[in-house]
Amino acid sequence: MINCPHCKNQMYVGTLFCMECGAQLVFSDSEFQSAWDFESEPKQDLEAQSYTNAPVYPEAASNSKISLSILETGEVVPLVYREETTLGRVSDGQPIIPDLDLSPFSAYEAGVSRLHASIRQQEGQVIIVDLGSANGTRVNGIKIEPNVPHTLLHGDVLTLGKLKIQVLIRGRY
């Protein structure tokens, strides 16, 4: 765990922004540094876009309001605007594939289900729903019930199985 230098709130190592006060966390050169500056325009990351199975439009990615930061690697994956994005991993012979394939982030080893969860933008909020995954979904360490919507805030840490992802939301929702 690390402590926010501003409010002393404890968070997981690799967290980009304090979940309590929103302060950007700074790490030593040997640790992960923030890949996203929320005071300016988002950086276009065409390589990160390749993880989504949805059609990718560069202008949509650069205007993405929601991104996911994979805490283990520090990679930031923008969610291309759509009302709902499914998260999971691709498996051979699987007829239904998730919109965001987490396989490149060792999703199988971390216990991520093929269709693990979905993130929705609804009524000005960002919502996550566990899709009945085998190993569950946690928000800030608290397990959420399958098929029950849970509101997400900027800086929340999702745990899909054992894969930790921080939610980054630009602007107000």
pLDDT band at residue 158 using 50, 70 and 90 as cut-offs: very high
pLDDT of residue 17 exceeding 50, the answer is: yes
Report the pLDDT value the prediction gives residue 95, as an integer from 0 to 100. Answer: 87
More confident of the two residues 92 and 19: 92
Domain encompassing residue 102: 2-169
Region 96-122: what's the mean pLDDT?
95
CATH number of the domain within which 51 lies: 2.60.200.20
C-alpha distances in Å from residue 91, one per residue of 32, 65, 96, 108, 114 = 30, 29, 9, 9, 7
Long-range Cβ pairs for the range 141-150 (8 Å, 24+):
149/120
Distance of CA 136 to the CA centre of its chain: 15
pLDDT higher than threshold 50 for residue 169: yes
**The predicted structure's pLDDT at residue 22:** 64
Cα separation, 96 vs 118, in Å, equals 14
pLDDT at residue number 65: 87
List pLDDT tens digits, range 32-77. Answer: 333 333 333 333 343 444 444 443 334 444 567 899 999 999 999 9
| pLDDT > 60? residue 6 | yes
Q: How many domains does the chain have?
A: 1
Higher pLDDT, 119 or 18: 119
